[in-house]
Structure 1
Protein backbone atom coordinates (compact mmCIF):
# COMPACT_ATOMS: atom_id res chain seq x y z
CA UNK A 1 0.00 0.00 0.00
CA UNK A 2 1.18 3.50 -0.79
CA UNK A 3 0.34 6.86 0.79
CA UNK A 4 -0.30 9.98 -1.23
CA UNK A 5 -1.23 13.56 -0.34
CA UNK A 6 -2.95 14.17 -3.65
CA UNK A 7 -6.52 15.37 -3.14
CA UNK A 8 -9.16 14.34 -5.68
CA UNK A 9 -12.88 14.99 -6.09
CA UNK A 10 -14.92 11.93 -5.12
CA UNK A 11 -17.75 11.36 -7.59
CA UNK A 12 -20.64 8.88 -7.49
CA UNK A 13 -20.83 6.71 -10.62
CA UNK A 14 -24.14 4.98 -11.34
CA UNK A 15 -24.06 1.21 -11.90
CA UNK A 16 -26.80 -0.35 -14.07
CA UNK A 17 -28.95 -2.85 -12.17
CA UNK A 18 -28.59 -1.26 -8.73
CA UNK A 19 -29.23 2.00 -6.90
CA UNK A 20 -25.76 1.72 -5.35
CA UNK A 21 -22.97 3.82 -6.87
CA UNK A 22 -19.21 3.56 -7.26
CA UNK A 23 -17.46 6.33 -5.31
CA UNK A 24 -14.37 7.15 -7.38
CA UNK A 25 -11.74 9.85 -7.83
CA UNK A 26 -8.97 10.52 -10.32
CA UNK A 27 -5.60 10.20 -8.55
CA UNK A 28 -2.42 10.89 -10.53
CA UNK A 29 -4.42 10.54 -13.75
CA UNK A 30 -5.88 7.15 -12.85
CA UNK A 31 -9.41 6.26 -11.67
CA UNK A 32 -9.40 4.97 -8.08
CA UNK A 33 -12.37 3.56 -6.17
CA UNK A 34 -13.14 4.08 -2.47
CA UNK A 35 -13.32 0.63 -0.86
CA UNK A 36 -15.34 1.30 2.32
CA UNK A 37 -18.47 2.77 0.66
CA UNK A 38 -18.56 -0.20 -1.76
CA UNK A 39 -18.30 -2.64 1.17
CA UNK A 40 -21.06 -0.74 2.98
CA UNK A 41 -23.31 -1.02 -0.08
CA UNK A 42 -22.73 -4.79 -0.21
CA UNK A 43 -23.05 -5.24 3.55
CA UNK A 44 -19.59 -6.70 4.22
CA UNK A 45 -16.92 -5.61 6.68
CA UNK A 46 -14.63 -3.01 5.08
CA UNK A 47 -11.75 -3.50 7.53
CA UNK A 48 -11.46 -7.24 6.89
CA UNK A 49 -11.63 -6.68 3.12
CA UNK A 50 -8.91 -4.03 3.40
CA UNK A 51 -6.66 -6.44 5.33
CA UNK A 52 -7.27 -9.12 2.71
CA UNK A 53 -6.36 -6.81 -0.16
CA UNK A 54 -3.22 -5.51 1.56
CA UNK A 55 -2.01 -9.12 1.78
CA UNK A 56 -2.48 -9.78 -1.95
CA UNK A 57 0.39 -9.19 -4.36
CA UNK A 58 -2.04 -8.38 -7.18
CA UNK A 59 -3.84 -5.63 -5.25
CA UNK A 60 -3.05 -1.92 -5.60
CA UNK A 61 -4.25 0.11 -2.60
CA UNK A 62 -3.68 3.81 -1.90
CA UNK A 63 -4.47 5.94 1.13
CA UNK A 64 -5.51 9.33 -0.22
CA UNK A 65 -7.39 12.44 0.85
CA UNK A 66 -10.45 12.99 -1.32
CA UNK A 67 -13.18 15.61 -1.28
CA UNK A 68 -16.55 13.99 -0.55
CA UNK A 69 -19.97 15.10 -1.83
CA UNK A 70 -20.43 17.34 1.21
CA UNK A 71 -17.26 19.24 0.27
CA UNK A 72 -15.25 17.92 3.22
CA UNK A 73 -11.87 16.20 2.74
CA UNK A 74 -11.58 12.63 4.00
CA UNK A 75 -8.69 10.18 3.97
CA UNK A 76 -9.84 6.89 2.46
CA UNK A 77 -8.45 3.61 1.17
CA UNK A 78 -8.71 3.54 -2.62
CA UNK A 79 -8.20 0.67 -5.07
CA UNK A 80 -7.51 0.81 -8.79
CA UNK A 81 -9.75 -0.59 -11.53
CA UNK A 82 -7.90 -3.91 -11.90
CA UNK A 83 -7.94 -4.52 -8.15
CA UNK A 84 -11.64 -3.66 -8.00
CA UNK A 85 -12.44 -6.14 -10.77
CA UNK A 86 -10.42 -8.96 -9.20
CA UNK A 87 -11.72 -8.22 -5.70
CA UNK A 88 -15.33 -8.30 -6.89
CA UNK A 89 -14.60 -11.67 -8.53
CA UNK A 90 -13.71 -13.10 -5.10
CA UNK A 91 -17.13 -12.23 -3.65
CA UNK A 92 -19.80 -14.94 -3.56
CA UNK A 93 -23.26 -13.47 -4.05
CA UNK A 94 -24.70 -16.43 -2.14
CA UNK A 95 -22.80 -15.45 1.01
CA UNK A 96 -24.26 -11.96 1.41
CA UNK A 97 -27.75 -10.92 2.50
CA UNK A 98 -30.64 -11.28 0.07
CA UNK A 99 -31.01 -7.50 -0.06
CA UNK A 100 -27.31 -7.05 -0.93
CA UNK A 101 -27.18 -9.89 -3.48
CA UNK A 102 -28.50 -7.81 -6.45
CA UNK A 103 -25.87 -5.16 -5.68
CA UNK A 104 -23.05 -7.74 -5.70
CA UNK A 105 -24.29 -9.20 -8.99
CA UNK A 106 -24.62 -5.73 -10.57
CA UNK A 107 -21.17 -4.65 -9.36
CA UNK A 108 -19.56 -7.83 -10.71
CA UNK A 109 -21.25 -7.44 -14.10
CA UNK A 110 -21.27 -3.67 -14.61
CA UNK A 111 -18.86 -1.84 -12.26
CA UNK A 112 -15.77 -1.95 -14.49
CA UNK A 113 -17.70 -0.75 -17.56
CA UNK A 114 -19.38 2.02 -15.56
CA UNK A 115 -16.00 3.20 -14.25
CA UNK A 116 -14.52 3.17 -17.77
CA UNK A 117 -17.53 5.00 -19.19
CA UNK A 118 -17.15 7.84 -16.71
CA UNK A 119 -13.41 8.36 -16.89
CA UNK A 120 -12.91 7.56 -20.60
CA UNK A 121 -16.05 8.76 -22.39
CA UNK A 122 -17.78 11.03 -19.88
CA UNK A 123 -21.09 9.24 -20.39
CA UNK A 124 -21.90 9.24 -16.69
CA UNK A 125 -23.06 12.43 -14.97
CA UNK A 126 -20.24 14.93 -15.33
CA UNK A 127 -19.64 17.01 -12.16
CA UNK A 128 -18.35 19.88 -14.29
CA UNK A 129 -21.87 20.22 -15.75
CA UNK A 130 -20.53 21.06 -19.24
CA UNK A 131 -21.42 19.38 -22.51
CA UNK A 132 -18.72 17.38 -24.23
CA UNK A 133 -17.51 18.78 -27.54
CA UNK A 134 -16.85 16.64 -30.62
CA UNK A 135 -13.14 16.96 -29.89
CA UNK A 136 -13.70 15.74 -26.30
CA UNK A 137 -15.60 12.71 -27.55
CA UNK A 138 -12.96 11.86 -30.17
CA UNK A 139 -10.18 12.35 -27.63
CA UNK A 140 -11.99 10.03 -25.19
CA UNK A 141 -12.40 7.38 -27.90
CA UNK A 142 -8.69 7.58 -28.77
CA UNK A 143 -7.81 7.29 -25.07
CA UNK A 144 -10.02 4.23 -24.80
CA UNK A 145 -8.34 2.60 -27.82
CA UNK A 146 -4.90 3.34 -26.39
CA UNK A 147 -5.95 1.85 -23.04
CA UNK A 148 -7.19 -1.29 -24.83
CA UNK A 149 -3.85 -1.54 -26.66
CA UNK A 150 -1.97 -1.25 -23.36
CA UNK A 151 -4.16 -3.99 -21.91
CA UNK A 152 -3.43 -6.22 -24.91
CA UNK A 153 0.30 -5.59 -24.58
CA UNK A 154 0.17 -6.41 -20.87
CA UNK A 155 -1.68 -9.64 -21.66
CA UNK A 156 1.02 -10.59 -24.19
CA UNK A 157 3.71 -9.87 -21.60
CA UNK A 158 1.94 -12.10 -19.08
CA UNK A 159 1.70 -14.88 -21.67
CA UNK A 160 5.38 -14.53 -22.54
CA UNK A 161 6.43 -14.78 -18.90
CA UNK A 162 4.18 -17.78 -18.43
CA UNK A 163 5.66 -19.57 -21.44
CA UNK A 164 9.16 -18.92 -20.10
CA UNK A 165 8.31 -21.00 -17.03
CA UNK A 166 7.73 -24.17 -19.04
CA UNK A 167 10.34 -26.84 -18.39
CA UNK A 168 8.73 -30.09 -19.55
CA UNK A 169 5.88 -31.51 -21.58
CA UNK A 170 4.30 -32.71 -18.32
CA UNK A 171 2.99 -29.20 -17.58
CA UNK A 172 3.90 -25.72 -16.29
CA UNK A 173 5.30 -24.40 -13.06
CA UNK A 174 2.54 -23.25 -10.71
CA UNK A 175 -0.27 -24.23 -13.10
CA UNK A 176 -2.98 -26.51 -11.76
CA UNK A 177 -6.34 -28.02 -12.56
CA UNK A 178 -9.06 -27.29 -9.97
CA UNK A 179 -8.79 -30.69 -8.29
CA UNK A 180 -4.99 -30.57 -8.32
CA UNK A 181 -4.91 -27.16 -6.63
CA UNK A 182 -7.51 -28.26 -4.06
CA UNK A 183 -5.57 -31.38 -3.08
CA UNK A 184 -2.19 -29.64 -3.10
CA UNK A 185 -3.47 -26.87 -0.84
CA UNK A 186 -5.52 -29.10 1.52
CA UNK A 187 -8.93 -27.77 0.46
CA UNK A 188 -11.41 -30.29 1.91
CA UNK A 189 -14.28 -29.86 -0.55
CA UNK A 190 -13.36 -31.56 -3.84
CA UNK A 191 -16.88 -32.40 -4.99
CA UNK A 192 -17.51 -32.14 -8.71
CA UNK A 193 -20.23 -29.50 -8.20
CA UNK A 194 -18.04 -27.30 -6.01
CA UNK A 195 -14.99 -27.57 -8.28
CA UNK A 196 -17.16 -26.72 -11.31
CA UNK A 197 -18.31 -23.48 -9.63
CA UNK A 198 -14.74 -22.58 -8.69
CA UNK A 199 -13.62 -23.41 -12.21
CA UNK A 200 -16.12 -20.99 -13.75
CA UNK A 201 -14.98 -18.21 -11.43
CA UNK A 202 -11.32 -18.98 -12.15
CA UNK A 203 -11.99 -18.85 -15.91
CA UNK A 204 -13.63 -15.42 -15.50
CA UNK A 205 -10.62 -14.10 -13.56
CA UNK A 206 -8.22 -15.51 -16.16
CA UNK A 207 -10.12 -13.95 -19.09
CA UNK A 208 -10.07 -10.58 -17.34
CA UNK A 209 -6.28 -10.81 -17.30
CA UNK A 210 -5.79 -12.13 -20.84
CA UNK A 211 -4.88 -15.67 -19.75
CA UNK A 212 -6.09 -18.72 -21.67
CA UNK A 213 -6.43 -22.08 -19.85
CA UNK A 214 -4.15 -24.93 -20.95
CA UNK A 215 -5.92 -28.32 -21.28
CA UNK A 216 -4.10 -31.42 -20.03
CA UNK A 217 -5.04 -35.08 -19.72
CA UNK A 218 -5.95 -36.30 -16.21
CA UNK A 219 -5.96 -40.02 -15.34
CA UNK A 220 -9.29 -39.85 -13.48
CA UNK A 221 -11.09 -36.76 -14.85
CA UNK A 222 -10.12 -36.87 -18.50
CA UNK A 223 -9.22 -33.60 -20.21
CA UNK A 224 -9.09 -30.73 -17.69
CA UNK A 225 -8.07 -27.07 -17.91
CA UNK A 226 -5.10 -25.73 -15.97
CA UNK A 227 -4.57 -22.14 -14.80
CA UNK A 228 -1.92 -20.30 -12.76
CA UNK A 229 -1.94 -20.89 -9.00
CA UNK A 230 -2.72 -17.22 -8.23
CA UNK A 231 -5.94 -17.47 -10.26
CA UNK A 232 -7.06 -20.53 -8.28
CA UNK A 233 -6.12 -18.79 -5.03
CA UNK A 234 -8.53 -15.94 -5.77
CA UNK A 235 -11.28 -18.24 -7.07
CA UNK A 236 -11.17 -20.66 -4.12
CA UNK A 237 -11.01 -17.80 -1.63
CA UNK A 238 -14.15 -16.30 -3.13
CA UNK A 239 -16.04 -19.58 -2.83
CA UNK A 240 -14.95 -20.23 0.76
CA UNK A 241 -15.28 -16.67 2.13
Structure 2
Protein backbone atom coordinates (compact mmCIF):
# COMPACT_ATOMS: atom_id res chain seq x y z
CA UNK A 1 0.00 0.00 0.00
CA UNK A 2 1.12 3.57 -0.57
CA UNK A 3 0.40 6.42 1.85
CA UNK A 4 0.12 9.74 -0.04
CA UNK A 5 2.75 12.23 1.05
CA UNK A 6 4.06 15.43 -0.52
CA UNK A 7 3.98 14.86 -4.30
CA UNK A 8 4.46 11.12 -3.99
CA UNK A 9 3.83 8.41 -1.43
CA UNK A 10 5.39 6.39 1.39
CA UNK A 11 5.43 2.64 0.57
CA UNK A 12 3.98 0.61 3.44
CA UNK A 13 2.90 -2.92 4.21
CA UNK A 14 1.03 -4.60 7.05
CA UNK A 15 2.85 -7.35 8.94
CA UNK A 16 0.73 -9.28 11.43
CA UNK A 17 -1.73 -6.40 11.40
CA UNK A 18 0.91 -3.76 12.13
CA UNK A 19 1.72 -1.05 9.54
CA UNK A 20 5.38 -0.87 8.54
CA UNK A 21 7.35 1.32 6.15
CA UNK A 22 9.40 -0.12 3.28
CA UNK A 23 12.50 1.98 3.81
CA UNK A 24 14.78 1.67 0.79
CA UNK A 25 12.71 3.83 -1.62
CA UNK A 26 12.54 6.58 1.01
CA UNK A 27 16.28 6.46 1.75
CA UNK A 28 17.08 6.73 -1.96
CA UNK A 29 14.55 9.55 -2.39
CA UNK A 30 16.37 11.47 0.35
CA UNK A 31 19.70 11.00 -1.41
CA UNK A 32 21.07 8.39 1.02
CA UNK A 33 23.14 5.35 0.02
CA UNK A 34 21.04 2.34 0.94
CA UNK A 35 23.76 -0.11 1.97
CA UNK A 36 25.01 1.93 4.99
CA UNK A 37 21.45 2.65 6.13
CA UNK A 38 20.54 -1.04 5.93
CA UNK A 39 23.65 -1.99 7.91
CA UNK A 40 22.98 0.58 10.65
CA UNK A 41 19.39 -0.53 11.16
CA UNK A 42 20.32 -4.21 11.10
CA UNK A 43 22.89 -3.57 13.84
CA UNK A 44 20.56 -1.42 15.97
CA UNK A 45 19.05 -3.63 18.65
CA UNK A 46 16.38 -1.02 19.42
CA UNK A 47 15.06 -0.92 15.85
CA UNK A 48 11.96 -2.92 14.89
CA UNK A 49 12.93 -4.40 11.52
CA UNK A 50 11.61 -7.25 9.40
CA UNK A 51 12.16 -8.54 5.88
CA UNK A 52 9.34 -9.43 3.51
CA UNK A 53 8.96 -10.40 -0.12
CA UNK A 54 6.77 -7.99 -2.06
CA UNK A 55 6.51 -6.28 -5.43
CA UNK A 56 6.95 -2.52 -5.33
CA UNK A 57 5.30 -0.14 -7.80
CA UNK A 58 7.37 0.14 -10.95
CA UNK A 59 9.16 -3.17 -10.36
CA UNK A 60 8.57 -6.19 -12.57
CA UNK A 61 8.99 -8.82 -9.86
CA UNK A 62 8.69 -9.47 -6.15
CA UNK A 63 11.83 -8.88 -4.10
CA UNK A 64 12.97 -9.20 -0.49
CA UNK A 65 12.81 -5.79 1.17
CA UNK A 66 13.39 -4.31 4.63
CA UNK A 67 10.37 -2.93 6.47
CA UNK A 68 10.50 -0.95 9.73
CA UNK A 69 7.85 -0.05 12.28
CA UNK A 70 6.35 3.43 12.28
CA UNK A 71 8.21 4.20 15.50
CA UNK A 72 11.55 3.09 14.04
CA UNK A 73 10.87 5.11 10.89
CA UNK A 74 10.21 8.23 12.98
CA UNK A 75 13.43 7.83 14.99
CA UNK A 76 15.43 7.05 11.82
CA UNK A 77 14.19 10.29 10.27
CA UNK A 78 15.00 12.24 13.43
CA UNK A 79 18.62 11.09 13.30
CA UNK A 80 19.20 12.37 9.77
CA UNK A 81 21.20 15.57 9.47
CA UNK A 82 20.02 17.70 6.54
CA UNK A 83 23.43 19.36 6.32
CA UNK A 84 24.97 15.99 5.41
CA UNK A 85 22.76 15.18 2.43
CA UNK A 86 22.92 16.56 -1.10
CA UNK A 87 21.73 20.19 -1.26
CA UNK A 88 18.89 19.29 -3.61
CA UNK A 89 17.54 16.75 -1.07
CA UNK A 90 17.67 18.89 2.08
CA UNK A 91 14.22 20.43 1.81
CA UNK A 92 12.74 16.97 1.27
CA UNK A 93 14.55 15.56 4.31
CA UNK A 94 13.25 18.40 6.48
CA UNK A 95 9.71 17.94 5.14
CA UNK A 96 9.83 14.23 6.00
CA UNK A 97 11.17 14.97 9.48
CA UNK A 98 8.39 17.48 10.13
CA UNK A 99 5.36 15.83 8.55
CA UNK A 100 5.84 12.15 7.68
CA UNK A 101 5.04 10.73 11.12
CA UNK A 102 1.79 12.68 11.29
CA UNK A 103 0.78 11.64 7.75
CA UNK A 104 1.33 7.97 8.60
CA UNK A 105 -0.48 8.22 11.93
CA UNK A 106 -3.51 9.90 10.40
CA UNK A 107 -3.61 7.43 7.51
CA UNK A 108 -3.54 4.33 9.71
CA UNK A 109 -5.18 5.55 12.91
CA UNK A 110 -7.21 8.60 11.89
CA UNK A 111 -6.72 12.28 12.64
CA UNK A 112 -6.07 13.12 16.27
CA UNK A 113 -9.17 14.63 17.84
CA UNK A 114 -7.95 15.26 21.39
CA UNK A 115 -6.37 18.61 22.34
CA UNK A 116 -2.77 18.94 21.24
CA UNK A 117 -1.55 19.38 24.83
CA UNK A 118 -3.13 16.15 26.00
CA UNK A 119 -0.43 13.61 27.00
CA UNK A 120 0.40 11.46 23.99
CA UNK A 121 1.63 7.90 23.66
CA UNK A 122 3.21 5.65 21.06
CA UNK A 123 4.02 7.25 17.75
CA UNK A 124 2.41 10.56 18.78
CA UNK A 125 4.91 10.80 21.64
CA UNK A 126 7.78 9.94 19.31
CA UNK A 127 6.65 12.68 16.98
CA UNK A 128 6.97 15.17 19.82
CA UNK A 129 10.47 13.84 20.59
CA UNK A 130 11.81 14.28 17.05
CA UNK A 131 13.23 17.77 17.60
CA UNK A 132 15.00 16.77 20.81
CA UNK A 133 16.42 13.58 19.27
CA UNK A 134 17.83 15.55 16.36
CA UNK A 135 19.37 18.14 18.67
CA UNK A 136 20.87 15.48 20.93
CA UNK A 137 22.32 13.60 17.96
CA UNK A 138 23.96 16.75 16.61
CA UNK A 139 25.39 17.66 20.04
CA UNK A 140 26.88 14.17 20.40
CA UNK A 141 28.41 14.27 16.93
CA UNK A 142 30.04 17.65 17.61
CA UNK A 143 31.37 16.43 20.97
CA UNK A 144 32.96 13.33 19.41
CA UNK A 145 34.62 15.48 16.75
CA UNK A 146 36.02 17.83 19.41
CA UNK A 147 37.36 14.92 21.47
CA UNK A 148 39.25 13.59 18.46
CA UNK A 149 40.63 17.06 17.75
CA UNK A 150 42.29 17.35 21.17
CA UNK A 151 45.36 15.35 20.16
CA UNK A 152 46.03 17.22 16.92
CA UNK A 153 44.54 17.55 13.45
CA UNK A 154 40.78 18.03 13.68
CA UNK A 155 40.45 16.15 10.39
CA UNK A 156 41.78 12.91 11.91
CA UNK A 157 39.75 10.40 13.91
CA UNK A 158 39.81 6.94 15.37
CA UNK A 159 37.56 4.44 13.60
CA UNK A 160 35.24 4.39 16.65
CA UNK A 161 34.76 8.16 16.78
CA UNK A 162 34.21 8.36 13.02
CA UNK A 163 31.61 5.58 13.28
CA UNK A 164 29.75 7.42 16.04
CA UNK A 165 29.96 10.68 14.11
CA UNK A 166 28.41 9.15 10.98
CA UNK A 167 26.06 6.55 12.51
CA UNK A 168 27.99 3.45 11.45
CA UNK A 169 27.98 0.27 13.58
CA UNK A 170 30.41 0.39 16.51
CA UNK A 171 30.94 -3.28 17.36
CA UNK A 172 34.59 -4.35 17.61
CA UNK A 173 34.74 -6.92 14.75
CA UNK A 174 33.25 -4.38 12.34
CA UNK A 175 35.61 -1.58 13.44
CA UNK A 176 38.61 -3.92 13.30
CA UNK A 177 37.77 -4.66 9.66
CA UNK A 178 37.48 -0.95 8.94
CA UNK A 179 40.80 -0.29 10.69
CA UNK A 180 42.59 -2.93 8.62
CA UNK A 181 41.19 -1.45 5.42
CA UNK A 182 42.09 2.12 6.46
CA UNK A 183 45.65 1.03 7.29
CA UNK A 184 46.00 -0.63 3.90
CA UNK A 185 44.72 2.49 2.12
CA UNK A 186 47.37 4.58 3.87
CA UNK A 187 50.10 2.07 3.05
CA UNK A 188 49.06 2.20 -0.60
CA UNK A 189 49.60 5.96 -0.39
CA UNK A 190 53.02 5.52 1.16
CA UNK A 191 51.80 6.68 4.57
CA UNK A 192 51.25 5.13 7.98
CA UNK A 193 48.53 5.81 10.58
CA UNK A 194 49.33 8.15 13.44
CA UNK A 195 49.27 6.74 16.97
CA UNK A 196 47.40 8.13 19.94
CA UNK A 197 47.42 7.09 23.58
CA UNK A 198 44.02 5.96 24.85
CA UNK A 199 43.33 5.43 28.56
CA UNK A 200 41.37 2.25 27.86
CA UNK A 201 42.98 0.66 24.80
CA UNK A 202 46.54 1.99 24.95
CA UNK A 203 48.09 2.89 21.59
CA UNK A 204 45.41 3.27 18.91
CA UNK A 205 45.50 4.32 15.27
CA UNK A 206 44.20 7.69 14.08
CA UNK A 207 43.33 8.17 10.41
CA UNK A 208 42.53 11.14 8.14
CA UNK A 209 38.79 11.53 7.66
CA UNK A 210 38.98 10.93 3.90
CA UNK A 211 40.74 7.59 4.51
CA UNK A 212 38.09 6.51 7.01
CA UNK A 213 35.28 7.60 4.71
CA UNK A 214 36.68 5.42 1.92
CA UNK A 215 37.37 2.50 4.29
CA UNK A 216 33.80 2.52 5.68
CA UNK A 217 32.33 2.70 2.19
CA UNK A 218 34.40 -0.27 1.02
CA UNK A 219 33.56 -2.38 4.09
CA UNK A 220 29.84 -1.64 3.59
CA UNK A 221 29.91 -2.90 0.01
The alignment's TM-score, normalised by the length of structure 2, stands at 0.51
Structure 2 residue aligned with 1:118: 107
SS for the counterpart of 2:68 is strand
Change (3 A) 1:93 1:186: closer
1:22 aligned residue: 10
Per the alignment, residue 87 of structure 2 pairs with 98
Residue 80 (structure 1) aligns with: 69
Query: C-alpha displacement at 1:73, in angstroms?
Result: 3.1
**Superposed CA offset, 1:164-207 (max 9, x none):** xxxxxxxxxxxxxx68x937x974369xxxxxxxxxxxxxxxxx
Q: Assess if the C-alpha contact under 8 Å between 1:23 and 1:34 holds in 2.
A: yes
1:188-203 matched pairs, under 5 angstroms: 188=148
Rounded to whole Å, the distance in 2 between the matches of 1:96 and 1:110 is 18
Deviation at 1:89, TM superposition (A): 1.4
2:23 pairs with 1:35: yes
Q: What residue number does 2:143 align with?
A: 182
Residues 54-92 of structure 1 show CA distances to partners (whole Å, capped at 9, x for unaligned) of 111211111012243368533211111111111111111
For residue 46 of structure 2, what is the aligned residue in structure 1?
A: 58
Shift of 1:111: 1.0
Q: Number of paired residues?
A: 138
Question: In 1, Cα distance between the equivalents of 2:4 and 2:65?
Answer: 20
Which structure 2 segments of 5+ residues have no match?
A: 115-119, 127-138, 151-163, 168-208, 214-221
1:109 has 2:78 as partner = no
Aligned residues: CA RMSD: 3.8
**In structure 1, what is the Cα distance between the partners aligned to 2:9 and 2:147?**
35
> In 2 relative to 1, CA 23–58 (structure 1 residues): closer, same or farther, beyond 3 Å?
same
Determine if contact 2:42/2:49 at 8 Å carries over to the other structure.
yes
- 1:59 alignment partner, SS class: coil
Distance 1:74 1:182 in 2: 41
Supply the distance in 2 between the matched residues of 1:150 and 1:84 (Cα, whole angstroms).
13
Consecutive unaligned residues of structure 1, counting only runs of 5 or more, are 1-10, 124-139, 143-147, 155-177, 191-234
Residues 101-153 of structure 1: per-residue CA shift (max 9 Å, x gap): 111011111111111111112x7xxxxxxxxxxxxxxxx979xxxxx556799
Matches within 5 A, 1:127-142: none
- Structure 1 outlier segments of 4+, above 6 Å: 151-154
More strand by share: 1
Length-normalised TM-score, structure 1 = 0.47
